[in-house]
Amino acid sequence: MGTQEKTERSSDKLNNQRILLLLTVLFTITTLVVGALVFRFYLEDYRKSSDATEYDKYYVMITDNYKTDFWQAVYKGAFEAAKKQNIYVDLLGQNISGQYSCEQLMKIAIASRVDGIIVFANENEEMTSLINEANEKKIPVVTLYNDSTHSERLSFVGVGSYNIGREYGRQIFNIIKDKRTDDFGNSQAAIRHTTTDVAVLVNTDTKDSGQNIIISALQETLEQENATDSEFSISLVPVDNKNAFSVEESIRDIFMDNNIPDVIVCLNELNTVCAYQAVVDFNKVGEVNILGYYNSDEIVTAISKNIVYATISIDTEQMGRYCIEALSDYYHFGNTSQYFTADVTLINNDNVDDFIKKEEESYE
């Protein structure tokens, strides 16, 4: 009797698990179908509008976080470049309610039969498969900032990761030189901890080859500048970048540790903002040097206040424009360049005032 009861319980448990799995699958499918239908109605409103401008083509841009200043600036560059060719570019996600991953937005874009896709890609199999599916359906795909090297994407628009790594390396070497000067004037130098600890914040949810190139170039530059092994140590700190809250928590954990790094290298805008906020909150301004990414007003202001040591400025207008050029070349000539690289500039305390002045003049 006991054996029969156990068998029945086990069977009930298995049935419950199957029902739960089925409900989860149905919910996911329903969400994507509804999202695709909503977007298709939204798309048709643009294509059928006779009173407003009727565009020749309709592209979408897909990013991991459309709300950030960085992606808004890239989108603006693409939008303005496309408008000159009577093409409309939509930043997919901001006009659809709910939270969607890049992969889910790709499915919506493919189902909506858009004329071109610009996507913040990655190297996972699902993204590769989706890009290939779009290509099969004659929808050209340009990968943006992150690549999908094994896919049939049309072109990749990115930044020079090697050059960025070298810029970071030069700035770290300047910090090491400052520490050398401090040690030289200190009679207790022999007992001081003189190693500069560098923490590079890396994303946990993507296989980003660009991150690896930056880190390699950073270390190579330090060695070329004759920084000895005893003068620096580099560690990779994983950051859970599912959302802004998880990023903030990951970075705050660094400051809860007894061994807080001397330098924190940030490889995106959100990490930079969270890092300098943590430096302020934990009263570590002047002790922790932040090497940031992007030139939002918030980050530039932090440099002028000596909270952020330096940041990498990306030519976002150029990046967006290159995406449109790649798609336009495809439609006009049947092909385009495999790679486009946007310009980068270092902003630090030496040139931040000039940068701010130039930005103010551009708005006048």
Q: Which residue has the tokens 């897909």?
A: 62
Q: Can you tell me whether residue 340 is helix, strand or coil?
A: strand
Q: Is residue 157 within 8 Å of 143, Cβ to Cβ?
A: yes
* Per-residue pLDDT band at 29 (split at 50, 70, 90): low
- How confident is the model over 305-349, as pLDDT tens digits? 999 999 999 999 999 999 999 999 999 999 999 999 999 999 999
Own/partner pairs for 255-261, CB < 8 Å, 24+ apart?
A: 255/279, 255/281, 255/282, 255/284, 259/197, 260/284, 260/287, 260/288, 261/197, 261/198, 261/199, 261/235, 261/288
Structure tokens at 23: 């409900």
pLDDT of residue 191: 42
User: How high does pLDDT run on average in the chain?
Assistant: 86
Residue 62 CA to residue 41 CA, distance in Å, equals: 18
Question: 4 or 237: whose pLDDT is higher?
Answer: 237
Question: How many Cα atoms sit within 13 Å of 9 on the Cβ side?
Answer: 6
The mean-pLDDT minimum among 9-13, 129-133, 198-202 falls in 9-13
Q: Can you tell me whether residue 169 is helix, strand or coil?
A: helix
Q: Can you tell me whether residue 50 is helix, strand or coil?
A: coil
Q: Is residue 342 within 8 Å of 157, Cβ to Cβ?
A: yes
Length of the chain (residues): 364
Q: Is residue 114 within 8 Å of 43, Cβ to Cβ?
A: yes
pLDDT of residue 9: 55
Nearest Cα to 121, choosing from 203, 202, 62? 62
Residue 303 CA to residue 292 CA, distance in Å, equals: 9
Structure tokens at 223: 């060695």
- How confident is the model over 37-70, as pLDDT tens digits? 555 555 555 454 434 578 999 999 999 888 899 9
pLDDT of residue 49: 45
Mean pLDDT of 73-95: 94
pLDDT of residue 105: 95
Mean pLDDT of 132-158: 96
Question: 161 or 42: whose pLDDT is higher?
Answer: 161
* Beta carbons within 10 angstroms of residue 205's beta carbon: 15
Percent of the chain with pLDDT over 90: 64
Nearest Cα to 217, choosing from 173, 182, 153, 281? 173
Residue 138 CA to residue 110 CA, distance in Å, equals: 10
Is the pLDDT assigned to residue 208 strictly greater than 60? yes
pLDDT of residue 26: 67
Is the pLDDT assigned to residue 182 strictly greater than 70? no
Q: Which residue has the tokens 């300098």?
A: 276
* 0.75 exceeded by pTM: yes
Structure tokens at 134: 């779009």
Q: Is residue 92 within 8 Å of 108, Cβ to Cβ?
A: yes
Pairing type for strands 263-265 and 310-314 reads unpaired
Is the pLDDT assigned to residue 7 strictly greater than 90? no
The distance of Cα 317 from the centroid of its chain, to the nearest Å, equals 16
One-letter amino acid of 114? V
pLDDT of residue 258: 85
| Class of residue 334 by CB neighbours under 10 A (exposed 0-12, middle 13-18, buried 19+) | exposed
Is the pLDDT assigned to residue 261 strictly greater than 80? yes
311's enclosing H/E stretch is strand 310-314
Residue 105 CA to residue 108 CA, distance in Å, equals: 5
pLDDT of residue 96: 76
The DSSP 8-state label assigned to residue 348 in this structure reads: E
Mean pLDDT of 341-364: 87
Nearest Cα to 199, choosing from 147, 145, 257, 160? 257
Mean pLDDT of 274-290: 95
* Domains of the chain from N-terminus onward: 2-153+317-343 (3.40.50.2300), 161-314 (3.40.50.2300)
Whole-angstrom CA distances from 110 to 41, 59, 88, 122, 332 are 14, 11, 17, 17, 22
